Structure 1
Amino acid sequence: MIHLGCAGWSLSRQYADEFLQPGSHLQRYAGRLDAVEINSAFYRPHRPATYARWAASVPEHFRFSVKLPRVITHELRLENCEVALDAFLGQIQHLGYRLGCLLVQLPPSLAHDARRDRYFFEALRRHHAGPVAVEPRHASWQAAGPMLTDLCIAQVAASPSRFAADAQPAGWPGLVYWRLHGVPRIYHSEYSQQCLLQLAERLQCSHGAGAETWCIFDNTASGAALGNALALRRWASATYPSLLDETIHE
Protein backbone atom coordinates (compact mmCIF):
# COMPACT_ATOMS: atom_id res chain seq x y z
CA MET A 1 0.00 0.00 0.00
CA ILE A 2 1.11 3.55 -0.65
CA HIS A 3 0.14 6.65 1.27
CA LEU A 4 -1.48 9.04 -1.20
CA GLY A 5 -2.75 12.52 -0.46
CA CYS A 6 -2.20 16.27 -0.44
CA ALA A 7 -0.36 18.92 1.54
CA GLY A 8 -3.31 19.85 3.73
CA TRP A 9 -6.95 18.76 3.65
CA SER A 10 -8.58 21.88 2.24
CA LEU A 11 -11.47 20.85 -0.04
CA SER A 12 -11.50 23.07 -3.10
CA ARG A 13 -14.87 23.99 -4.57
CA GLN A 14 -14.33 22.29 -7.92
CA TYR A 15 -14.01 18.89 -6.23
CA ALA A 16 -16.67 19.33 -3.54
CA ASP A 17 -18.88 16.67 -5.15
CA GLU A 18 -16.17 14.10 -4.48
CA PHE A 19 -16.50 14.65 -0.71
CA LEU A 20 -20.21 14.52 0.09
CA GLN A 21 -20.05 12.43 3.27
CA PRO A 22 -20.80 14.26 6.54
CA GLY A 23 -18.19 15.47 8.99
CA SER A 24 -15.36 17.96 9.25
CA HIS A 25 -13.16 18.78 6.26
CA LEU A 26 -10.57 16.30 7.55
CA GLN A 27 -13.16 13.55 8.03
CA ARG A 28 -14.55 14.12 4.55
CA TYR A 29 -11.05 14.18 3.06
CA ALA A 30 -10.13 10.95 4.86
CA GLY A 31 -13.13 9.25 3.30
CA ARG A 32 -11.42 9.41 -0.10
CA LEU A 33 -7.67 9.63 0.51
CA ASP A 34 -5.56 7.76 3.03
CA ALA A 35 -2.80 10.25 3.90
CA VAL A 36 -2.17 13.95 4.36
CA GLU A 37 0.84 16.15 4.97
CA ILE A 38 0.40 18.61 7.84
CA ASN A 39 2.12 21.51 6.13
CA SER A 40 0.77 24.03 8.66
CA ALA A 41 3.17 22.66 11.31
CA PHE A 42 5.93 24.40 9.35
CA TYR A 43 4.40 27.81 10.10
CA ARG A 44 3.06 27.46 13.63
CA PRO A 45 2.90 24.93 16.48
CA HIS A 46 -0.27 22.97 17.17
CA ARG A 47 -1.43 22.00 20.63
CA PRO A 48 -1.12 18.32 21.60
CA ALA A 49 -4.90 18.23 21.98
CA THR A 50 -5.26 19.34 18.36
CA TYR A 51 -3.06 16.51 17.11
CA ALA A 52 -5.01 14.06 19.28
CA ARG A 53 -8.32 15.33 17.87
CA TRP A 54 -7.08 14.97 14.31
CA ALA A 55 -5.89 11.43 14.98
CA ALA A 56 -9.22 10.46 16.52
CA SER A 57 -11.22 11.79 13.57
CA VAL A 58 -9.72 9.61 10.80
CA PRO A 59 -9.98 5.90 9.95
CA GLU A 60 -7.60 3.28 11.30
CA HIS A 61 -5.55 3.05 8.09
CA PHE A 62 -5.09 6.82 7.68
CA ARG A 63 -1.61 8.28 8.18
CA PHE A 64 -0.24 11.79 8.74
CA SER A 65 3.06 13.17 7.53
CA VAL A 66 4.19 16.23 9.49
CA LYS A 67 6.51 18.95 8.23
CA LEU A 68 9.18 20.14 10.66
CA PRO A 69 8.80 23.78 11.84
CA ARG A 70 10.61 26.47 9.91
CA VAL A 71 12.23 27.67 13.12
CA ILE A 72 14.31 24.47 12.97
CA THR A 73 15.00 24.28 9.25
CA HIS A 74 14.99 27.91 8.07
CA GLU A 75 15.72 30.08 11.11
CA LEU A 76 18.09 27.94 13.17
CA ARG A 77 19.20 26.11 9.99
CA LEU A 78 19.59 22.77 11.82
CA GLU A 79 21.92 24.19 14.49
CA ASN A 80 21.28 24.60 18.22
CA CYS A 81 17.70 23.47 17.75
CA GLU A 82 17.40 20.72 20.36
CA VAL A 83 14.83 22.60 22.43
CA ALA A 84 12.64 23.36 19.39
CA LEU A 85 12.98 19.79 18.13
CA ASP A 86 12.01 18.30 21.50
CA ALA A 87 8.96 20.59 21.68
CA PHE A 88 7.84 19.61 18.18
CA LEU A 89 8.27 15.89 18.79
CA GLY A 90 6.36 16.20 22.05
CA GLN A 91 3.42 17.75 20.20
CA ILE A 92 3.21 15.29 17.33
CA GLN A 93 3.44 12.20 19.52
CA HIS A 94 -0.26 12.77 20.19
CA LEU A 95 -0.98 11.53 16.68
CA GLY A 96 -0.11 8.10 18.04
CA TYR A 97 0.30 5.30 15.51
CA ARG A 98 -1.30 7.46 12.83
CA LEU A 99 1.95 9.46 12.64
CA GLY A 100 3.39 8.11 9.41
CA CYS A 101 6.40 10.24 8.47
CA LEU A 102 8.38 13.37 9.29
CA LEU A 103 9.25 15.74 6.45
CA VAL A 104 12.35 17.94 6.71
CA GLN A 105 12.17 20.55 3.94
CA LEU A 106 15.32 22.67 3.77
CA PRO A 107 15.75 26.21 2.40
CA PRO A 108 17.35 26.55 -1.04
CA SER A 109 20.27 28.46 0.50
CA LEU A 110 21.21 25.70 2.95
CA ALA A 111 24.24 23.87 1.58
CA HIS A 112 25.16 20.46 2.89
CA ASP A 113 27.56 20.56 5.83
CA ALA A 114 28.59 17.04 6.78
CA ARG A 115 29.31 17.78 10.45
CA ARG A 116 26.23 19.90 11.12
CA ASP A 117 23.83 17.68 9.23
CA ARG A 118 24.98 14.43 10.78
CA TYR A 119 24.75 15.97 14.24
CA PHE A 120 21.18 17.14 13.55
CA PHE A 121 19.89 13.90 12.04
CA GLU A 122 21.57 11.80 14.71
CA ALA A 123 19.82 13.95 17.33
CA LEU A 124 16.53 13.47 15.50
CA ARG A 125 17.10 9.73 15.32
CA ARG A 126 17.77 9.50 19.06
CA HIS A 127 14.21 10.70 19.67
CA HIS A 128 12.32 9.42 16.64
CA ALA A 129 12.72 5.96 15.12
CA GLY A 130 9.95 6.26 12.52
CA PRO A 131 10.13 7.22 8.83
CA VAL A 132 11.88 10.49 7.97
CA ALA A 133 12.24 12.15 4.56
CA VAL A 134 14.37 15.20 3.77
CA GLU A 135 13.76 17.58 0.87
CA PRO A 136 17.02 19.46 0.26
CA ARG A 137 17.02 22.24 -2.32
CA HIS A 138 20.75 22.90 -2.71
CA ALA A 139 22.84 20.89 -5.16
CA SER A 140 25.54 20.17 -2.57
CA TRP A 141 23.17 17.68 -0.90
CA GLN A 142 24.01 15.23 -3.67
CA ALA A 143 26.96 14.30 -1.45
CA ALA A 144 24.73 13.43 1.52
CA GLY A 145 23.57 10.04 0.21
CA PRO A 146 25.82 7.85 2.40
CA MET A 147 24.85 9.75 5.55
CA LEU A 148 21.14 9.51 4.76
CA THR A 149 21.40 5.80 4.04
CA ASP A 150 23.34 5.22 7.24
CA LEU A 151 20.65 6.97 9.31
CA CYS A 152 17.71 5.41 7.40
CA ILE A 153 16.50 8.75 6.01
CA ALA A 154 15.00 9.08 2.54
CA GLN A 155 15.62 11.96 0.15
CA VAL A 156 12.41 13.29 -1.38
CA ALA A 157 11.79 12.92 -5.10
CA ALA A 158 10.67 16.44 -5.99
CA SER A 159 8.76 17.91 -8.91
CA PRO A 160 9.88 20.28 -10.24
CA SER A 161 13.47 19.21 -9.74
CA ARG A 162 15.76 21.75 -8.07
CA PHE A 163 19.05 20.00 -8.90
CA ALA A 164 20.13 16.99 -10.93
CA ALA A 165 19.77 14.33 -8.24
CA ASP A 166 16.44 15.28 -6.64
CA ALA A 167 14.01 14.23 -9.38
CA GLN A 168 14.15 10.58 -8.28
CA PRO A 169 14.02 8.97 -4.82
CA ALA A 170 17.40 8.80 -3.08
CA GLY A 171 18.91 8.22 0.33
CA TRP A 172 17.64 5.24 2.32
CA PRO A 173 15.74 2.92 -0.08
CA GLY A 174 13.33 1.64 2.57
CA LEU A 175 11.23 4.81 2.20
CA VAL A 176 10.15 6.57 -1.00
CA TYR A 177 8.54 10.02 -0.69
CA TRP A 178 7.29 11.94 -3.73
CA ARG A 179 6.38 15.65 -3.40
CA LEU A 180 4.74 17.15 -6.47
CA HIS A 181 4.60 20.94 -6.36
CA GLY A 182 3.18 21.58 -9.84
CA VAL A 183 4.76 22.04 -13.29
CA PRO A 184 5.26 24.43 -15.01
CA ARG A 185 3.71 26.84 -12.50
CA ILE A 186 4.83 25.74 -9.07
CA TYR A 187 2.05 25.26 -6.51
CA HIS A 188 -0.61 25.89 -9.18
CA SER A 189 -0.24 23.69 -12.27
CA GLU A 190 -1.95 20.32 -12.47
CA TYR A 191 -0.20 17.24 -13.79
CA SER A 192 -1.28 15.65 -17.04
CA GLN A 193 -2.80 12.21 -17.32
CA GLN A 194 0.43 10.96 -18.90
CA CYS A 195 2.49 12.24 -15.97
CA LEU A 196 0.15 10.61 -13.47
CA LEU A 197 0.22 7.28 -15.28
CA GLN A 198 4.02 7.37 -15.30
CA LEU A 199 3.97 8.21 -11.61
CA ALA A 200 1.64 5.26 -10.92
CA GLU A 201 4.23 2.97 -12.53
CA ARG A 202 6.98 4.38 -10.32
CA LEU A 203 4.84 3.95 -7.23
CA GLN A 204 4.20 0.35 -8.19
CA CYS A 205 7.95 -0.23 -8.58
CA SER A 206 8.80 1.06 -5.11
CA HIS A 207 5.80 -0.73 -3.61
CA GLY A 208 6.89 -3.95 -5.28
CA ALA A 209 10.40 -3.50 -3.90
CA GLY A 210 9.00 -3.37 -0.37
CA ALA A 211 9.60 0.34 0.28
CA GLU A 212 7.12 2.36 2.30
CA THR A 213 5.84 4.74 -0.36
CA TRP A 214 4.36 8.22 -0.03
CA CYS A 215 2.97 10.47 -2.75
CA ILE A 216 1.95 13.99 -1.74
CA PHE A 217 0.58 16.63 -4.11
CA ASP A 218 1.55 20.15 -3.05
CA ASN A 219 0.07 21.98 -6.06
CA THR A 220 -2.67 23.26 -3.78
CA ALA A 221 -2.81 26.99 -4.58
CA SER A 222 -5.40 26.56 -7.33
CA GLY A 223 -6.94 23.34 -6.05
CA ALA A 224 -5.15 21.05 -8.52
CA ALA A 225 -3.74 18.77 -5.82
CA LEU A 226 -7.08 17.18 -4.95
CA GLY A 227 -7.92 16.47 -8.58
CA ASN A 228 -4.51 14.94 -9.24
CA ALA A 229 -4.61 12.80 -6.10
CA LEU A 230 -8.11 11.49 -6.86
CA ALA A 231 -7.22 10.78 -10.49
CA LEU A 232 -4.02 8.98 -9.53
CA ARG A 233 -5.94 6.91 -7.00
CA ARG A 234 -8.50 5.85 -9.59
CA TRP A 235 -5.91 4.90 -12.22
CA ALA A 236 -3.59 3.18 -9.78
CA SER A 237 -6.47 1.21 -8.26
CA ALA A 238 -7.63 0.06 -11.69
CA THR A 239 -4.15 -0.86 -12.93
CA TYR A 240 -2.55 -2.10 -9.69
CA PRO A 241 -5.39 -3.31 -7.42
CA SER A 242 -3.06 -4.14 -4.51
CA LEU A 243 -1.36 -0.76 -4.50
CA LEU A 244 -3.87 1.27 -2.51
CA ASP A 245 -5.98 0.59 0.56
CA GLU A 246 -9.24 -0.99 -0.52
CA THR A 247 -11.12 0.43 2.47
CA ILE A 248 -11.22 3.88 0.88
CA HIS A 249 -14.70 4.57 -0.43
CA GLU A 250 -15.14 5.10 -4.16
Structure 2
Amino acid sequence: MSIHIGVAGWSIPSALADRFPASGTHLERYGARFSAVELNSSFYRPHRRTTYERWAASVPPGFRFSVKLPRTITHERRFVDCQALLDRFAEETDGLGNKRGPVLVQLPPSFVYPGDSAERFLSDLKTTVTDNIVLEPRHASWFMPDVDHMLERQKVARVAADPARPPPVAQPGGWHGCAYFRLHGSPRMYESAYGQDAIAAHAGVVAALARHGIDVWTVYDNTVYGAATRNAFELIDVLSGHDI
Protein backbone atom coordinates (compact mmCIF):
# COMPACT_ATOMS: atom_id res chain seq x y z
CA MET A 1 0.00 0.00 0.00
CA SER A 2 1.23 3.50 -0.79
CA ILE A 3 -0.23 6.98 -1.06
CA HIS A 4 1.25 9.52 -3.46
CA ILE A 5 0.19 13.17 -3.27
CA GLY A 6 1.51 15.88 -5.53
CA VAL A 7 0.95 18.56 -8.12
CA ALA A 8 0.99 18.73 -11.91
CA GLY A 9 4.47 20.22 -12.23
CA TRP A 10 6.88 21.30 -9.51
CA SER A 11 6.60 25.07 -9.60
CA ILE A 12 6.49 26.68 -6.14
CA PRO A 13 3.97 29.51 -5.62
CA SER A 14 5.61 32.54 -4.07
CA ALA A 15 2.90 32.69 -1.39
CA LEU A 16 3.95 29.24 -0.17
CA ALA A 17 7.71 29.53 -0.67
CA ASP A 18 8.34 29.55 3.08
CA ARG A 19 6.98 25.97 3.31
CA PHE A 20 9.89 24.71 1.19
CA PRO A 21 13.66 24.73 1.71
CA ALA A 22 15.21 28.04 0.76
CA SER A 23 17.97 26.58 -1.41
CA GLY A 24 18.16 24.13 -4.28
CA THR A 25 16.41 23.83 -7.63
CA HIS A 26 12.65 24.03 -7.76
CA LEU A 27 12.49 20.25 -8.11
CA GLU A 28 14.86 19.68 -5.17
CA ARG A 29 12.80 22.01 -2.99
CA TYR A 30 9.52 20.46 -4.16
CA GLY A 31 10.82 16.93 -3.56
CA ALA A 32 11.68 17.82 0.04
CA ARG A 33 7.97 18.30 0.79
CA PHE A 34 6.06 16.04 -1.62
CA SER A 35 6.49 12.40 -2.59
CA ALA A 36 5.19 12.62 -6.16
CA VAL A 37 4.74 14.84 -9.18
CA GLU A 38 2.87 14.54 -12.46
CA LEU A 39 5.16 15.36 -15.37
CA ASN A 40 3.07 16.89 -18.16
CA SER A 41 5.83 18.39 -20.30
CA SER A 42 6.49 14.93 -21.78
CA PHE A 43 3.07 15.23 -23.43
CA TYR A 44 4.23 18.20 -25.49
CA ARG A 45 7.86 17.39 -26.26
CA PRO A 46 10.46 14.67 -25.71
CA HIS A 47 13.19 14.99 -23.10
CA ARG A 48 16.66 13.48 -23.25
CA ARG A 49 17.29 10.43 -21.10
CA THR A 50 20.00 12.44 -19.34
CA THR A 51 17.38 15.02 -18.36
CA TYR A 52 15.25 12.34 -16.72
CA GLU A 53 18.37 11.00 -14.99
CA ARG A 54 19.13 14.47 -13.62
CA TRP A 55 15.57 14.86 -12.35
CA ALA A 56 15.67 11.45 -10.66
CA ALA A 57 18.92 12.36 -8.94
CA SER A 58 17.33 15.56 -7.58
CA VAL A 59 14.70 13.87 -5.38
CA PRO A 60 14.68 11.46 -2.40
CA PRO A 61 14.58 7.65 -2.89
CA GLY A 62 10.85 7.32 -2.24
CA PHE A 63 9.84 10.02 -4.71
CA ARG A 64 7.90 9.02 -7.84
CA PHE A 65 7.21 10.73 -11.17
CA SER A 66 4.07 9.94 -13.11
CA VAL A 67 4.80 10.67 -16.77
CA LYS A 68 2.30 11.69 -19.42
CA LEU A 69 2.45 9.82 -22.72
CA PRO A 70 3.21 12.08 -25.73
CA ARG A 71 0.30 13.61 -27.61
CA THR A 72 1.75 12.34 -30.87
CA ILE A 73 0.61 8.90 -29.70
CA THR A 74 -2.70 9.77 -28.04
CA HIS A 75 -3.98 12.74 -30.02
CA GLU A 76 -2.31 12.54 -33.44
CA ARG A 77 -1.73 8.83 -34.13
CA ARG A 78 -4.55 7.71 -31.83
CA PHE A 79 -2.81 4.41 -31.08
CA VAL A 80 -2.07 3.61 -34.76
CA ASP A 81 1.49 2.63 -35.79
CA CYS A 82 3.05 3.81 -32.53
CA GLN A 83 5.66 1.20 -31.60
CA ALA A 84 8.66 3.34 -32.57
CA LEU A 85 7.24 6.23 -30.55
CA LEU A 86 6.63 3.94 -27.57
CA ASP A 87 10.18 2.62 -27.77
CA ARG A 88 11.56 6.16 -27.75
CA PHE A 89 9.37 7.19 -24.81
CA ALA A 90 10.42 4.11 -22.84
CA GLU A 91 14.11 4.61 -23.54
CA GLU A 92 13.98 8.26 -22.48
CA THR A 93 11.89 7.79 -19.34
CA ASP A 94 13.94 4.76 -18.27
CA GLY A 95 16.32 7.49 -17.11
CA LEU A 96 14.05 7.87 -14.08
CA GLY A 97 14.91 4.33 -13.00
CA ASN A 98 12.74 3.08 -10.14
CA LYS A 99 11.42 6.61 -9.60
CA ARG A 100 9.20 6.32 -12.66
CA GLY A 101 5.65 5.83 -11.47
CA PRO A 102 2.53 5.36 -13.60
CA VAL A 103 2.41 6.33 -17.25
CA LEU A 104 -0.59 8.60 -17.80
CA VAL A 105 -2.43 8.07 -21.09
CA GLN A 106 -4.83 10.99 -21.57
CA LEU A 107 -7.15 10.78 -24.58
CA PRO A 108 -8.80 13.67 -26.43
CA PRO A 109 -12.54 14.12 -25.75
CA SER A 110 -13.31 13.22 -29.37
CA PHE A 111 -11.50 9.85 -29.22
CA VAL A 112 -14.24 7.20 -29.51
CA TYR A 113 -13.42 3.75 -28.13
CA PRO A 114 -11.83 1.96 -31.12
CA GLY A 115 -12.53 -1.63 -30.05
CA ASP A 116 -9.86 -4.32 -30.26
CA SER A 117 -7.15 -1.89 -31.37
CA ALA A 118 -7.30 -0.25 -27.93
CA GLU A 119 -6.48 -3.51 -26.19
CA ARG A 120 -3.67 -4.24 -28.65
CA PHE A 121 -2.18 -0.81 -28.03
CA LEU A 122 -2.39 -1.10 -24.25
CA SER A 123 -0.81 -4.55 -24.41
CA ASP A 124 2.05 -3.15 -26.51
CA LEU A 125 2.45 -0.24 -24.10
CA LYS A 126 2.62 -2.53 -21.08
CA THR A 127 5.22 -4.68 -22.81
CA THR A 128 7.31 -1.62 -23.66
CA VAL A 129 6.93 0.28 -20.36
CA THR A 130 6.73 -2.08 -17.42
CA ASP A 131 5.29 0.37 -14.86
CA ASN A 132 1.60 0.86 -14.12
CA ILE A 133 -0.55 2.43 -16.84
CA VAL A 134 -3.38 4.83 -15.98
CA LEU A 135 -5.82 5.78 -18.72
CA GLU A 136 -7.86 8.99 -18.84
CA PRO A 137 -10.52 8.61 -21.55
CA ARG A 138 -12.93 11.49 -22.02
CA HIS A 139 -15.50 10.16 -24.49
CA ALA A 140 -18.61 8.41 -23.12
CA SER A 141 -17.97 5.31 -25.25
CA TRP A 142 -15.10 4.29 -22.93
CA PHE A 143 -17.34 4.07 -19.87
CA MET A 144 -19.03 0.76 -20.66
CA PRO A 145 -18.80 -2.57 -18.80
CA ASP A 146 -16.99 -4.36 -21.65
CA VAL A 147 -14.33 -1.62 -21.75
CA ASP A 148 -13.92 -1.81 -17.99
CA HIS A 149 -13.42 -5.58 -18.26
CA MET A 150 -10.80 -5.04 -20.96
CA LEU A 151 -8.93 -2.61 -18.73
CA GLU A 152 -9.04 -5.13 -15.89
CA ARG A 153 -7.56 -7.80 -18.17
CA GLN A 154 -4.76 -5.47 -19.15
CA LYS A 155 -4.24 -4.26 -15.57
CA VAL A 156 -4.79 -0.67 -16.65
CA ALA A 157 -6.46 1.69 -14.15
CA ARG A 158 -8.95 4.29 -15.37
CA VAL A 159 -8.34 7.78 -14.00
CA ALA A 160 -10.92 9.53 -11.83
CA ALA A 161 -11.08 13.25 -12.63
CA ASP A 162 -12.82 16.37 -11.35
CA PRO A 163 -14.71 18.08 -12.90
CA ALA A 164 -16.29 14.88 -14.22
CA ARG A 165 -17.34 15.11 -17.87
CA PRO A 166 -19.03 12.70 -18.53
CA PRO A 167 -20.19 11.92 -14.95
CA PRO A 168 -18.62 8.40 -14.75
CA VAL A 169 -15.23 10.12 -14.93
CA ALA A 170 -15.59 10.92 -11.22
CA GLN A 171 -14.92 7.32 -10.14
CA PRO A 172 -11.84 5.16 -10.71
CA GLY A 173 -12.38 2.19 -13.00
CA GLY A 174 -10.62 -0.61 -14.79
CA TRP A 175 -7.90 -2.39 -12.82
CA HIS A 176 -8.32 -2.02 -9.07
CA GLY A 177 -4.64 -2.27 -8.11
CA CYS A 178 -4.16 1.47 -8.63
CA ALA A 179 -6.43 4.49 -8.15
CA TYR A 180 -5.35 7.73 -9.80
CA PHE A 181 -7.19 11.00 -9.15
CA ARG A 182 -6.64 14.13 -11.25
CA LEU A 183 -8.29 17.11 -9.56
CA HIS A 184 -8.40 20.14 -11.83
CA GLY A 185 -10.34 22.56 -9.64
CA SER A 186 -14.07 23.19 -9.44
CA PRO A 187 -16.11 25.11 -10.46
CA ARG A 188 -13.35 26.87 -12.45
CA MET A 189 -10.95 24.33 -13.93
CA TYR A 190 -7.27 25.00 -13.19
CA GLU A 191 -8.19 27.95 -10.95
CA SER A 192 -10.59 27.08 -8.12
CA ALA A 193 -9.27 25.81 -4.80
CA TYR A 194 -10.93 22.88 -3.07
CA GLY A 195 -12.46 23.75 0.30
CA GLN A 196 -12.00 21.94 3.58
CA ASP A 197 -15.07 19.75 3.11
CA ALA A 198 -13.89 18.56 -0.30
CA ILE A 199 -10.39 17.86 1.03
CA ALA A 200 -11.78 15.90 3.98
CA ALA A 201 -14.13 13.88 1.76
CA HIS A 202 -11.31 12.99 -0.62
CA ALA A 203 -9.04 12.07 2.28
CA GLY A 204 -11.67 9.56 3.41
CA VAL A 205 -11.72 8.00 -0.05
CA VAL A 206 -7.92 7.83 -0.22
CA ALA A 207 -7.66 6.29 3.24
CA ALA A 208 -10.30 3.66 2.47
CA LEU A 209 -8.59 2.64 -0.77
CA ALA A 210 -5.18 2.52 0.89
CA ARG A 211 -6.50 0.23 3.63
CA HIS A 212 -7.40 -2.23 0.88
CA GLY A 213 -3.81 -2.27 -0.34
CA ILE A 214 -4.44 -0.08 -3.38
CA ASP A 215 -1.75 2.23 -4.72
CA VAL A 216 -3.42 5.67 -4.56
CA TRP A 217 -2.32 8.78 -6.46
CA THR A 218 -3.82 12.24 -6.05
CA VAL A 219 -2.59 14.97 -8.38
CA TYR A 220 -3.87 18.53 -8.04
CA ASP A 221 -3.92 20.41 -11.33
CA ASN A 222 -5.60 23.65 -10.17
CA THR A 223 -2.27 25.39 -10.57
CA VAL A 224 -3.09 28.82 -12.07
CA TYR A 225 -3.17 30.66 -8.72
CA GLY A 226 -1.24 28.16 -6.63
CA ALA A 227 -4.27 26.37 -5.18
CA ALA A 228 -2.89 22.97 -6.20
CA THR A 229 0.11 23.21 -3.90
CA ARG A 230 -1.98 24.45 -0.99
CA ASN A 231 -4.57 21.71 -1.50
CA ALA A 232 -1.85 19.04 -1.65
CA PHE A 233 -0.47 20.22 1.69
CA GLU A 234 -4.00 20.23 3.14
CA LEU A 235 -4.68 16.68 1.99
CA ILE A 236 -1.42 15.47 3.57
CA ASP A 237 -2.39 17.18 6.83
CA VAL A 238 -5.88 15.65 6.90
CA LEU A 239 -4.61 12.17 6.04
CA SER A 240 -2.15 12.34 8.92
CA GLY A 241 -5.17 12.03 11.21
CA HIS A 242 -6.46 8.85 9.55
CA ASP A 243 -5.67 5.35 10.70
CA ILE A 244 -4.06 3.85 7.59
1:216-250 Cα distance to aligned partner (Å, 9 max, x none): 0011122111010011111111x1264xxxxxxxx
- Alignment correspondent of 1:148: 151
1:105 matched residue in structure 2: 106
Aligned residues: 241
2:217 is equivalent to residue 208 of structure 1: no
Please tell me whether residue 121 in structure 1 is matched to residue 157 in structure 2. no
User: In structure 1, what is the Cα distance between the partners aligned to 2:93 and 2:105?
Assistant: 14
Match of 2:160 in 1: 157
**1:58-207 superposed matches below 5 A:** 58-143=59-144, 144-207=147-210
SS at match of 2:180: strand
TM-score with structure 1 setting the length: 0.94
Q: Is the 8 A contact 1:41 1:69 kept in 2?
A: yes
Deviates further, 73-82 or 175-184: 73-82
Alpha-carbon separation, structure 2, partners of 1:7 and 1:132: 17
The runs of 5 or more residues in structure 2 that have no matched partner are: none
Question: Are the equivalent residues in 1 in contact too, given 2:157–2:175 (CA < 8 A)?
Answer: yes
Is the Cα contact below 8 Å between 1:30 and 1:58 reproduced in 2? yes
User: Does the 8 A contact of 2:75 with 2:107 survive in 1?
Assistant: yes
Q: CA deviation at 1:81?
A: 1.2
Q: CA deviation at 1:86?
A: 0.9
- Counterpart Cα distance in 2 of 1:129 and 1:42: 19
1:7 is the counterpart of 2:8: yes
Q: What fraction of aligned residue pairs are identical, expressed as a percent?
A: 46
Structure 1's consecutive aligned runs of 4 or more residues displaced over 2 angstroms after TM superposition are none
CA distance in 1, matches of 2:125, 2:133: 9
Looking at structure 1, the residues matched to 162 and 174 of structure 2 have their Cα atoms a distance apart, in angstroms, of: 17
Q: How many angstroms does 1:129 deviate by?
A: 2.5
CA contact (8 A) 1:11 1:226 kept: yes
What is the match of residue 239 of structure 2? 236
AA matched with 1:154: A
Q: Which stretch has the larger CA shift, 146-155 or 121-130? A: 121-130
Is the Cα contact below 8 Å between 1:42 and 1:67 reproduced in 2?
Answer: yes
Query: Which AA in structure 1 matches 2:91?
Result: G
| Counterpart-to-counterpart distance in 2, 1:139 and 1:50 | 37
- Name the stretch that deviates more: 195-204 or 119-128: 119-128
CA distance in 2, matches of 1:21, 1:212: 31
C-alpha displacement at 1:128, in angstroms? 2.2
Structure 1 unaligned residues grouped into runs of 5+: 243-250
